[in-house]
Amino acid sequence: MSRVITLTTDFGTSDSYVASMKGAIFSVNPQAKIVDISHAIEPQSIRQASFILHTAWHYFPEGTVHIVVVDPGVGGHRRAVILKTPSALFVTPDNGVLSYILHELSDTTAAHSYPVSDQVARRVMPEGCEAVSITNKEYWRHPVSSTFHGRDIFAPVAAHLSLDIPFREFGEPVDSLNAFAIPVPFKDATGHSIGQIIHIDRFGNLITNLKSRDIPPGGAGVEIRNQRIDNTSSYYAQGKGLMALIGSNDYLELSFKEGSAAALLGARVGDSVKILNPPGR
């Protein structure tokens, strides 16, 4: 049975790039099941691609093959890799797009990175995971364009994986992958939880790295850019104006009812967010 293949790119949909990748997949596996996660990643935004993939991949069937092509280094010396986890396969450039995946699978708490930094470093493979560098040209499309590895390398490799070709057939094993530090909340000197904005969605909602576990029972106030929200809400219709609530991926997000919180506050990725603990806590 053919595995599901997902696509995450910064290609948009006004050109033929996405269609060309799908054509390359169907040329190898005409029965492929392809799902688009997003093609609206900001151009060259490896960090955004990593976060979006992180919020979506859990919901696909076991064995799904995820292609990510946000690849500023295409044609250069960066590796193309396959990461095999206990439940999925990822076909990507080795440029940090797997950072959130590696972080969540490592079951460790990384030191906070503040402000957000896109600098990558080698990270040892989490337990139960394996990776290979994609060097076996037998599974590539030929000729290979130096500017479109998404079509000529990642797409056909993923298509062959979807047909259950063993992933070790695609190249040499590697014991580490490039990743950037994932920013995690911390406590300041007064005991307040400090987080930061890690994503702004198309509605202008500000997604933070604070989670439900960081909110005291009964709720708490939130402070951002000298604006205070008195308490967290349970759902969008419950609040008025600027509001804070736990979103569908368990992250605290700030929204502006019938508007954009990002535009209202002039907020950006990396801005600090503080949880104001109720008195006596």
Given a cut of 90, is residue 277 above it in pLDDT? no
For residue 80, give both structure tokens: 């193309």
Strands 130-134 and 176-180, by their bridges, are: unpaired
Per-residue pLDDT, 84:
98
Given a cut of 60, is residue 141 above it in pLDDT? yes
CB 189 within 8 A of CB 171: no
Q: Which of 25-39, 167-181, 228-242 has the lowest mean pLDDT?
A: 228-242
Per-residue pLDDT, 115:
52
> pLDDT tens digits for 86-127?
999 999 999 999 999 999 998 655 444 455 566 888 989 999
> What CA–CA distance (Å, rounded) separates 91 from 113?
26
CA nearest neighbour of 90 among 124, 52, 57, 55 = 57
Q: Which CATH class is domain 4-180?
A: alpha beta
> What CA–CA distance (Å, rounded) separates 53 from 245?
22
Given a cut of 60, is residue 250 above it in pLDDT? yes
> pLDDT tens digits for 43-86?
999 999 999 999 999 999 999 999 999 999 998 889 999 999 99
Domain boundaries, the chain: 4-180, 186-276
What percent of the chain has a predicted confidence (pLDDT) above 90?
Answer: 79
Q: What is the CATH code for 186-276?
A: 2.40.30.90
Long-range contacts formed by 21-25: CB under 8 A, 24+ apart: 21/67, 21/69, 21/150, 21/151, 21/154, 21/155, 22/155, 24/141, 24/151, 24/152, 24/155, 24/156, 24/159, 25/155, 25/156, 25/158, 25/159, 25/162
